[in-house]
Structure 1
Amino acid sequence: MRTQVGIIGAGPAGLFLAHLLKQKGIESIVLEAKSRDYVEGRVRAGVLEASTIDVMDRLGLGDRMHREGLVDEGLDMRFRGRTIHLDLPDLTGRSVMIYGQQEVVKDLIAARLAAGDPLHFEAPVSRLAGLDSASPQIHYAENGEEKVLTCDFVAGCDGFHGVSRACVPEDLMKVYHHAYDFAWLGVLARARPLSDMTYSNSDRGFALCSRRSMQVSRLYLQVPSTERLEDWSDDRFWDELHQRMFDDDRSEVAEGEIFQRDMAHLRAFVATPMHYGRLYMAGDAVHIVPPAGAKGLNMAVADARVLAAALARYYRDNTSEMLDSYTDRCAERVWKTIRFSTALTGLLHRFSDQTEFQRELQLSELEYISGSRAAQQSIAEQYVNLSNVDI
């Protein structure tokens, strides 16, 4: 097969890129290693920034999002039994949308298949060839047969463990990495959620109460990275969550059937450059943020927007100027987002090596934020639209 842009990965980065390219009249083929059911069932963060909402609307794919998603106008941070409430519209003029990443992916997949555009599931890529030529090749398997996709450009949107980044010579890539010694134990529960996204920094550790609908809560606890899902019974989870949310009489956080569990190990990761030859990477393939702030999907969408614009410029004007500057155009935004998520993680979690002095400084920072509109506005601005890009 041959196409203009071969896209590896049917996650947010790859799917948004495919739709944006089609809108600009550029052909693409998407190759995904996993099955459709697997891809659509992966539970990830569900906070869409204002710019991501705008992209969904401009692509004509926002109907179900607006119908089933929840507009979230508040962000709460608790400490010492008190709550800092950030009124997002008042502080920024914008809000965010609670709409699960898996729901976004379902919408993107359904629209692409309905249009008859090529999207191949269970088609794992084994290697890339000719990345420094005008006709790079993607070698993949499908239905037990080895196949080759020849294209003008390869878009590596295949995540942290994908083949794309590994194709860049080690001496040409710089990697920044920080791993945390704790994880997020996350559950989905059939329980009435709190009215606002609520983070909590307690002496027992971090907790988060979010929502997926008015009937389903998405809840997290900070746990040691050595913990296993089977170590946490339902009763143990609810007892710990009530304590960390300062819900002493257990009247605020509603309990319900826990029907899904997962463990997310936290890391911050940046690889640069984001391109090599005719290979251009986006999303988790080149950067991962700690989950505090829910920036992963939004960062992927921003990458896709920049790359789609650069490819459109190439095909329209026969110039590689924007493609050559792809990494530089993304770098400042990527590092600002890493900084925000890392700072929020540091503000809200307990650390194993944290001294009493450091703990008091952490709580003092929360005290300052609670009394400063300027500090609250800074957090709110980054929360609602840090991934916006000027194209």
Structure 2
Amino acid sequence: MRINFLNGIGQFMIVVAAMATCSHASADGDIDLSQWTMKWNDEFDYSNDDLDKNWISQNGPTENEWVLSSRWRDNAVVKDGVLYLLSKKESRGGQDWTTGNVWTKETFGYGYYEARMKYAGAYGTNNSFWLWPKQGVGEGDKACEIDINEGHFPNIINTNVHNWTDTYTLPSGRVTHDDDQLHHTLHGSPDHKVDLKRPVYTRKVRLTSNNPASIHVSEFRVVAAEPGEGYSKGDNLAVLEGTDIETNGVFEELPSKSVYAIDGRENTRWVSKKHGPKWLELSWDKEVPVSQIEFRNGWLQEYGASKGEYRNLISDYNIEYHDGSQWVSVAKYHAKEVADYSEQWHRYGLEWDEDYFRFYFDGELFYEMRNNVCFSDTTILLSLAILKADIAGPVTEAIDGTSMKVDWVRYYTKRQ
């Protein structure tokens, strides 16, 4: 996919290379449903009133400290064979937003779970298909949460397995627990390249983003348009001696430094702080001639079903240079142009047994992990939430009226 950008005064033509890829599994990794028996399903092919036959709805405020929305039965609506979980900008239950949340009356065990869904089409929303023992945790069992997908607009898949029983205290005093949170981006490319139609002369270049998760940048390059003091045409100006770099900070749980984005090595990377706006800015003590800006982002998975593929690809960015008085944009990118899961139906699946969790996208395996915590019956939940702290991106009025949509939910057990 090649996207052409022309700024408002027609001065630069920018080409961004961001090829869409989705080669996350081979045919060997497909789920073969002929080997499974469907034991339970809901196709939502009934009137709205009948939703309550299979599902229970939250009616009241949400106690989770990260959730800004109270959730109500009014926000869960069945229409034309689809369940809509609606977001509304309204003060109710002591919170400024409302959304929908439902869970099954039945409980389930090992098997294959799958839902066909669309995300709400705005940053700030958490579109969830997950498992949690709403019926309570039996004696000796773990309080286990399996997030098949906590999806973030436009195309981020979040998987996680939480062990909420065995908590521990960090040196900071914060009480935490074991989990396996991963942000998967199955469409897109790690490489982005911006070619300027004509060179610019500047002392500052920056990248800004509202990416919901941390940004992972292994290399950020600024290419010289012509020779200068200490460099030749085509050299990477980012590695010039004396280049200053500033960022919004680093994610403390990974070995990361801001300078890793411009150290000339692809086996290191800058990982930004997790929440809030993200940015990276380079500056020089004198003007440099720039013809091209390029970067590689994400992290390369080195294990499991998706070994050799990139994760945490950036969802949006704005690249700018400073003209001496103001910042001038030369390229903008949004991953919804590559894949927009709020406009596209996709299937999100989990195969769960006593040994493994295997996560599927449209029937193809993209991630697996060992099961050492979840062994007891659970409940299926579907929920839309609005999250604070930019966890899912900035919360704006654009959320109002959007909805997470569910076409169907199905549960299978393996044939003997």
**Richer in helix (by share):** 1
Q: TM-score, structure 1 length as denominator?
A: 0.23
**Richer in strand (by share):** 2
Q: TM-score, structure 2 length as denominator?
A: 0.22
